[in-house]
Every structure is written in C-alpha cells, then in structure tokens.
Amino acid sequence: MSENLVTRYQFLQDELKMHDQAYYDQASPLISDSEYDQLYRELLAIELAHPDWVQPDSVSQRVSGQVNQVFSPVEHGVAMLSLNNALHEDEVLAFDKRCKETLDIDLVEYACELKFDGLAISILYEKGQLTRAATRGDGAVGENVTDNIRTIHAIPKQLLGSKIPDRVEVRGEVFMRRFDFEELNKKQLLVQGKLFANPRNAAAGSLRQLDPAITAQRQLSFYAYGIGEFIPASWRPMSHDQLLDQLAQLGLPISADRCIAVGPTKVLEYFHSVAQRRKDLPFDIDGVVYKVNAYELQERLGYISRAPRFAIAHKFPPEQATTIVLSIEVQVGRTGAITPVARLVPVVVGGVTVTNATLHNEDEIVRKDIRVGDTVIVRRAGDVIPEILSHIIALRPINTAVFEMPTNCPICHSPIDRQVGEAIARCTGGLFCDAQRKQAIMHFAHRRAMNIDGLGEKIIEKLVDAKLVSTPVDLYRLTNSFSALVGLLYLNPSNSQKKDSIQDKKLIQNLLDAIEGSKKPQLGRFIFALGIRHVGETTAKDLARHFRSIHGVMDASENDLLQVRDIGPVVATSIVNYLAQAHQRELILQLLAAGVEPQVEEMSISTEAFFLGKTVVLTGTLPNLSRDDAKARLEALGAKVTGSVSAKTHYVIAGEEPGSKLEKAVELGVPILDEAALLKLLGS
C-alpha cells in the first residue's frame, strides 16, 4: 500500500468535504463543478481499488449538504438521493448495458428530461394542501423551508383535479431563470447587497432566507421531476412519464422538454438536441437525465449507496473552470471601445482551451475586483467570448495591485475618454487608430455584412500594417496590387517551392474574386457594413426597407430617421453624427464609385404585409430551413425575430422538438406556424 496514495485519499476526503460545505451550505463554491467531479472521480477510483478504506463518513457514502440548524429539521420519509453522472457517451452506453444485463432485456425504454441547475426540494401535499416543504439536506434529513416555498408563485398551494392522492411528496428543482438572476444582481448592486455568481447560487441563497418576505421578492421557478412517499399505493401510475403527466394534471409545473427514448442511440439523440438548444433555454441546465421509464423495472434495478441504478445524469462538458490571471490588457474595438481582457493560464472550458477572457469594462473590473495573480472562475457559454465571473479571495497572493485603466490608447496613444454616464471608455483616435481601422475593415468584410470570404483578421492585419489598405474602399483597389499581395501574403514563407507559390497565387486570386463578388450586397448588409454605432443588422435592414436607397439614408434628417420602425433618438442621433462626418460620407461615395451597388429587394405586397412589423419567435429544428436562413428571410420581410415568447409575440414558428417556447405560445394563445406554412408565406 503506497503511503502517498493514503495521503492523497485523505486529502481528497478533506478537500471534497470542504467544497461540499462551500457549495451546499454557503452557496458559494470555491471550484467549478467539473473540477469537483474530477476530484470526486479520483476518490471513487481509489475506493474501488481499496474498498476496505471506505468509512461510513466518506464523501462517497453520504449525500452532501449539511442541515443548517436555523431551519427546523425534516426527516425525509424516502431518502432524497443523488444521481450518478456520465460525462462521456461511453459511460451512457455502459449504463444502458448494465440495465439491459440486469433486467435481461434487449432494449430499455428511458424517460429523458433536463437536468435543472438549481436545488432539490421535497413538497408534501396532504389531501391536496401544501403542508410542508424541505431541502434535500444530507438526503435523510433536510431543512424545513415551507414558509419560503409558499412564496413561489409556480408552486401550487392546493392541488387541482380529480386524482388528488391522500398524501404525496412531490420532488423537483427550485431554480432561477437567467433573466431573473441578472435582474436580482442588478438590484443587489444598487443596495450593495451580496452578488451571486450564478443562478444556482442565487436560487439557493434566495430560498434559504430566514425571512420569507425576502424569498418572496426573488423570482424563483420550479419544475417537478418525481415523487417520494405517496398514499394510496394505487395512485401511482405504471411509469415515470405517466407520473409526470399526472403531476401536471394536479397543477404542478412540469417541463415540456422531455421525451421517451428506446435504446441508447435515441437517448444520445436527445442529449445532442438539448445541447444545441441549451443556450436558448431561459434557465441553466447542466445536463440531461435518463430514467428507466417503467417502475417495475426501476424497482428491479434498485439502488447503490447514494444513487439509483435506474437513472443517470448525462452532464455537459464543463463550461466553468478556475485558472490564474497572468495579465490584464486592453483591446480597442471598431468604435474605439476599450475592453479590458485578462490573459490566463490556459484552461479547458467546455472542451475548448481558453487563454483570454473579457472583463467587459472598467466598472466590471472594479465590481469584481479582478487583479493580476488572482485565481478566477472563467465561464464559457456557447459561442460567446469567455468571461471572468469572480475571483477566489482565499487564493489571492499578497501584494496584488488594483487594476487601473490606462489613460492613453495602447495602439495609437490618443487619449482614452469616458463620457459621463457611459460604461465604456473609448480611444479618441478614430480611424487614425490602426486598431479601429482593422476592426472596421473586419466588420465590413464580415459574413453578415459584405461577406468577403477569405478576408480574415490575419490578412487584414497585414494589409493595414503594409499600408495597402486603410479604409474599406482600398479593398476594391487591390486588383492593381497583385504582385505586392503575393509578397505580403505569401502563406508559407519557409517553403519557397514553385508549387506552393502557384497555390498562393491561386488563393490571392480567390480573395480578389471574393472582393469583386461582394460588389452587389443587399442594401441592409451594406448599411450594416459601414459600422455605424448602434446600427446592428436589424436596424440596418429596417433602414434599407424604409429608405430603399443609400442616398435616401444619407439625406435623411433626424426626424426622418425617427419615423423608421424601432429607431429611437439614440440610434437616430448616432446615424446623423456618423453622416455629418465628411470622411464617412466620402467613404460611402467612394465605395459607390468603386463599383459597389447596394441591391434593394423587391417584395410582393401581400407577403411583405403579412410579416411587416410582426414579432416572430423560432423554436425547434425546421426540417429544411436553417435557423439563420429562416431568420434572415423573415427579417427581409420586416419581421422582428426575437428569442423569447411573450404576449407581444405575433407568431411562433415551430419545428421539431420545439421545447418550452411552444409551450409558452400555447399558454399565451400565440398563433403557431410550421415550416410548410412559413415557406408558403415566404413565397417559396
């Protein structure tokens, strides 16, 4: 027996206990979930090799979360267990194999659902009345939070319908929607209250308040996903999915995002579809859960120590991790916006190595007090730039310095200016600043703007540094500089073989062809490409639709601009200010003179009228159109495509596996169209 292994085992026990306490009791985790999982798995591996080391108080033998003595204890009639995790597909396959072998059947039917990232709650209903609610606590004994739970609107105080059992303990997750979390943190900032690192902590912190009046002010949500004890025995249906339907009939909130999957392939299909939709959900989830559907089979599979054998949580790759800040630098954006960026010790987050994370602006750094040398929690969600959530104060080295914003632009040395009431500081160098110049050209060439394929950041950097390009119009003059380009953009300087140089010439020709091919953009894309502050893709399209020519936009007064749908004073002023600058007007005219011809889309009146000014929400996967395509075509017809369904939504376009947006649309009576109806209305 290695002494080192014993020490490591003891270290893991202590470390995990400490993190359990920080996570469950203080709602203030010190490490990311993925790092916790890693430590926990290491501990399990050691225990597997040395079963005789396992003591009853091992972290693996108990459900985490101590009982806070301030709330009175509640003994759970049926223990509240946790789920085993699968982090990789092969672990899901192994789980399915185990189920099949134990049950001696070829295919298992699973109920698949979301794994909500909140906290587990047990709610007891007696003769339909909510009589008691408790947290999970250590699994055997939880905390009595009945008064707090009663303040959550989503949780019925009285069950509905004709199938009310004498007694049922409903189990589910209390969580906070992302929007409500952000609003809460904004309010906390105003009153200098505690800021929460994520919606899960906010939900836990809000529920475990001694004063229910405080819980009542927090917007908490709830989904039920199971039951504990129940009377009479005949009340329970045969399977988990029937149970959820039955709970829904009693008035309990049940997520519509669930399905039945037969066999592991279908189960993994659900996982991938949820992973894709995850960022569109209004709340955080950290994976999906697969449960053997039939109760008879669940009972045959049974339990191991703290988890059932009939269910597993398939977790997403971690999207948070801890790392160390090496330096804080500032970057200059297209409009001169100065963004502080932290350079980090590389860390893998959600399967991607992260070396930089945005700190947004000066106020954010001050609020989060991020310093060079700090150990920080980094989050990466979907395609967005990784950001730093918080630092871990216990790990801060001595003698760290508070970050100070530079007073001059690091690129052009012009003064940095921050207007009163604005969060963003800006370089005052305008297009004299090479950083802004490069960003402006990158924006111009972007796929959603002029769509110049192959003109990426690296090439633009070289073109600007070599002074071959200083404004977008220079791109259209590059045809005359073919040989200079071959010298400049030579793609593999270490290899001077002729074959490669022919290849490089071909690439340069492709680039020049792409530039030439960009000369007939849609008017909206052209306006967007100009990079006017506050004029995003949608506003640019609105302007195009309204004025129908670039000259129309150039001649518009502030008042004319205010007539355009969704344009308010801030945007109108920004456009007027942009066009008041001689060099910007000159740029537009030069682009036109260089042969750029913005195109105006002709639309049939009836089709246009149908979607004009309407708010549309897309949900689920459309069989033929990609989401980007559908959005672009709807916007071209004057629709505003938004991400969430509300009473103001005119239409919901629903594809396959539509999720909670469809549910909401039904609830609000919003008309729902399928892809076939959409295509008809789009005239194709």
Interface residue list for ligand IVH (CB under 6 A): 81-83, 113-116, 120, 173, 225-226, 289, 308, 313
**In the complex, minimum distance from the CB of residue 158 to ligand IVH, in angstroms, rounded to a whole number:** 24
**In the complex, minimum distance from the CB of residue 293 to ligand IVH, in angstroms, rounded to a whole number:** 13
CA 677 from centroid of its chain's CA atoms? 30
Rounded to whole angstroms, what are the CA distances from 369 to 181, 379, 424?
20, 17, 17
289 has which bridge partners?
113, 313
In this structure, what is the dihedral angle of CA atoms 342, 347, 352, 353, given to the nearest 10 degrees? 70
Identity of the residue, 9 or 222, whose beta carbon is nearer to ligand IVH in the bound complex: 222
315 has which bridge partners?
287
> How many other β-carbons are positioned within 10 Å of the β-carbon of residue 632?
18
Locate 424 and state its tokens. Answer: 């963003």
What sign has the CA pseudo-torsion 46, 47, 50, 55? positive
DSSP-derived secondary structure for 401-454: ------SB-TTT-PBEE--TT-S--EETTGGGSHHHHHHHHHHHHSTTTT--TT
**Backbone φ, ψ for residue 195 (5° rounding):** -95, 145
Residue 153 one-letter amino acid: H
**In the complex, minimum distance from the CB of residue 68 to ligand IVH, in angstroms, rounded to a whole number:** 17
Q: Which residue is nearest to ligand IVH (CB)?
A: 120
Identity of the residue, 315 or 640, whose beta carbon is nearer to ligand IVH in the bound complex: 315
**In the complex, minimum distance from the CB of residue 584 to ligand IVH, in angstroms, rounded to a whole number:** 53
**In the complex, minimum distance from the CB of residue 384 to ligand IVH, in angstroms, rounded to a whole number:** 24
**Backbone φ, ψ for residue 85 (5° rounding):** -105, 145
Question: Where in the sequence numbering do the catalytic residues fall?
Answer: 115
Identity of the residue, 19 or 525, whose beta carbon is nearer to ligand IVH in the bound complex: 19
**In the complex, minimum distance from the CB of residue 82 to ligand IVH, in angstroms, rounded to a whole number:** 3
| CB environment 587-619: b (16+ within 10 A), e (fewer) | bbebbeeeebebeeeebeeeebebbeebbbbbb
Identity of the residue, 112 or 349, whose beta carbon is nearer to ligand IVH in the bound complex: 112
Identity of the residue, 178 or 343, whose beta carbon is nearer to ligand IVH in the bound complex: 178
**In the complex, minimum distance from the CB of residue 168 to ligand IVH, in angstroms, rounded to a whole number:** 16
Identity of the residue, 318 or 336, whose beta carbon is nearer to ligand IVH in the bound complex: 318
**In the complex, minimum distance from the CB of residue 307 to ligand IVH, in angstroms, rounded to a whole number:** 7
Length of the chain: 684
Locate 350 and state its tokens. Answer: 């959600």
Helix (H) or strand (E) holding 148: helix 146-149
Identity of the residue, 113 or 319, whose beta carbon is nearer to ligand IVH in the bound complex: 113
What sign has the CA pseudo-torsion 392, 179, 274, 293? positive
Identity of the residue, 244 or 409, whose beta carbon is nearer to ligand IVH in the bound complex: 244
Single out the residue of 215, 125, 212, 211 nearest to residue 168, CA to CA. Answer: 125
d(CA 552, CA 450): 20
